């Protein structure tokens, strides 16, 4: 009996199978890359919206928070520079995408939904979460995720496996807000001093409530038990150029480092640096000192042995400049009204706020 050995066509079967496998691998690679690209479009959009929305928290109105997030939406013809992500014209960021949250780094979990929120109050919110997603792990409202088309789906369907032609892509961002100190001055303890604010030059200022002399040494170079001085907050070194720069920035709410009570320390300087006082005059005086010439100053422990060290912040105080004193003894002071135990997280804390993005732990983003 003659054996039939006809192998024609076997290579075609092998090549066909290889082509299908290669197409599946290419399709999966395209899908993975495309999903990453879609996420890279959506993530900056929610980042920017969250940062913008957080700046509206001090108004106390949730409607303002939502509207700030929506201001960055792409709208053809009226806001062509807005956030443009997959199908953004039909999936705009709005109130449903915004959740007011309370953030506390020392807490586990650090992010929880804000309490006390109503149509007219942001409650205890100090942050905002903005997301394009189908479910909200913090229990708030939801919008819709981005839907990315899949390239490999038709190939699976050829083998009878029914798969969706799109994949949901969710992105989220959390931005928190913090009031920042407005003047690079630190005080040791917090209490009124020098009744009537006698600057040591024989003149008596108006009897301001809680009047206080600030700045800097007693004139004899002895820093012991000094009650006030300069600070560069958490930046080293606490030298004249850095302090001078912070004076100008503080008057315009720009680039003032944020500091927290009990977190780390702030760097101090006890020198009577005349150029800094001159900078204060330029930055704050204008046509005379007024309500706008107020700022927040950090308070360190009382009677510290050396005002050139690094001390943790114990509280904050509000200081409103009234005038600068320069007497014949070489003593130079900033004189003004002091209010102790000022809450920098409340509306109007400083008039200056900084925002930053924090990790959205539940969403892994």
Give tens-digit pLDDT for 43-59: 999 999 999 999 888 77
> Is the distance from CB of 298 to CB of 181 less than 8 angstroms?
yes
Q: Which among 116, 144, 179 is the end of a domain?
A: 179
Average pLDDT over residues 116-128: 90
Q: For the stretch 113-129, what's the b/e string if a residue is b when 16 or more beta carbons lie within 10 angstroms of its beta carbon?
A: bbeebeeeebeebbbbb
> Is the distance from CB of 35 to CB of 167 less than 8 angstroms?
yes
**Model pLDDT, residue 224:** 43
22-36, 40-54, 93-107, 120-134: the lowest-pLDDT one: 22-36
Q: Are residues 38 and 123 in the same domain?
A: yes
Residue 354 lies in a domain: no
Residue 174 lies in a domain: yes
Q: Are residues 338 and 206 in the same domain?
A: yes
Q: Which among 179, 194, 216 is the end of a domain?
A: 179
Residue 7 lies in a domain: no
Q: Are residues 28 and 46 in the same domain?
A: yes
Q: What percent of the chain has pLDDT over 70?
A: 68
Q: Are residues 148 and 210 in the same domain?
A: no
For residue 218, the tally of other CB atoms under 10 A from its CB is 16
> pLDDT at residue 104 above 60?
yes
Q: Are residues 197 and 140 in the same domain?
A: no
Rounded to an integer, what distance in angstroms lies between the CA atom of residue 247 and that of residue 134?
47
Q: In this predicted model, which residue has the larger pLDDT, 353 or 241?
A: 241
Residue 351 lies in a domain: no
Q: Are residues 171 and 299 in the same domain?
A: no
Q: In this predicted model, which residue has the larger pLDDT, 141 or 8?
A: 141
Strand partners for 102: 112
Average pLDDT over residues 313-341: 74
CB contact set of 20 (below 8 Å; sequence gap of 6+): 155
Residue 357 lies in a domain: no
Among 111, 147, 143, 141, which Cα is nearest to 126's? Answer: 111
How many domains would you assign to the chain?
A: 2
Q: In this predicted model, which residue has the larger pLDDT, 338 or 49?
A: 49
Q: Are residues 143 and 229 in the same domain?
A: no
Domain containing 238: what range? Answer: 185-343
Q: Are residues 89 and 157 in the same domain?
A: yes
Q: Are residues 114 and 227 in the same domain?
A: no
Tokens representing 352? 């200056």
């Amino acid at each position: 009996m003659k054996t039939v050995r006809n192998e024609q066509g076997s290579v075609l079967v092998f090549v066909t199978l290889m082509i299908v496998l290669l197409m599946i691998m290419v399709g999966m690679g395209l899908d993975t890359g495309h999903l990453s690209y879609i996420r890279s479009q959506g993530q900056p959009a929610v980042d920017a919206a969250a940062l913008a929305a957080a700046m509206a928290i001090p108004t106390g109105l949730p409607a303002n928070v939502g509207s700030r997030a929506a201001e960055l939406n792409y709208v053809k013809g009226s806001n062509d520079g807005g956030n443009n992500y997959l199908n953004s014209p039909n999936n705009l960021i709005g109130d449903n995408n915004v959740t007011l949250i309370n953030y506390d780094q020392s807490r586990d979990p650090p992010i929880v939904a804000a309490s006390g929120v109503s149509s007219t109050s942001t409650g205890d919110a100090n942050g905002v979460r903005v997301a394009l997603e189908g479910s909200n792990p913090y229990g708030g409202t939801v919008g819709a995720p981005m839907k990315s088309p899949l390239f490999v789906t038709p190939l699976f369907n050829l083998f009878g496996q029914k798969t969706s032609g799109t994949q949901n892509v969710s992105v989220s961002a959390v931005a928190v807000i913090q009031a920042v100190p407005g003047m690079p001055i630190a005080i040791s303890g917090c209490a009124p001093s020098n009744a009537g604010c006698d600057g040591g030059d024989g003149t008596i200022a108006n009897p301001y409530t809680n009047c206080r002399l600030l700045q800097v040494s007693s004139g004899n170079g002895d820093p012991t038990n000094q009650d006030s001085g300069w600070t560069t907050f958490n930046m080293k070194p606490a030298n004249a150029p850095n302090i001078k720069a912070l004076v100008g920035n503080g008057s315009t709410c720009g680039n003032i480092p944020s500091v927290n009570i009990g977190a780390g320390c702030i760097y101090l300087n006890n020198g009577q640096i005349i150029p800094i006082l001159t900078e204060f005059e330029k930055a704050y005086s204008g046509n005379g000192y007024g309500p706008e010439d107020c700022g927040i100053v950090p308070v360190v422990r009382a009677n510290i042995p050396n005002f050139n060290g690094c001390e943790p912040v114990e509280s904050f105080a509000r200081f409103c400049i009234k005038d600068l004193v320069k007497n014949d003894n070489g003593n130079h002071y900033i004189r003004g009204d002091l209010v102790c135990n000022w809450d920098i997280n409340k509306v109007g804390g400083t008039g200056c706020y900084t925002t930053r993005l924090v990790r959205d732990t539940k969403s892994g983003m």
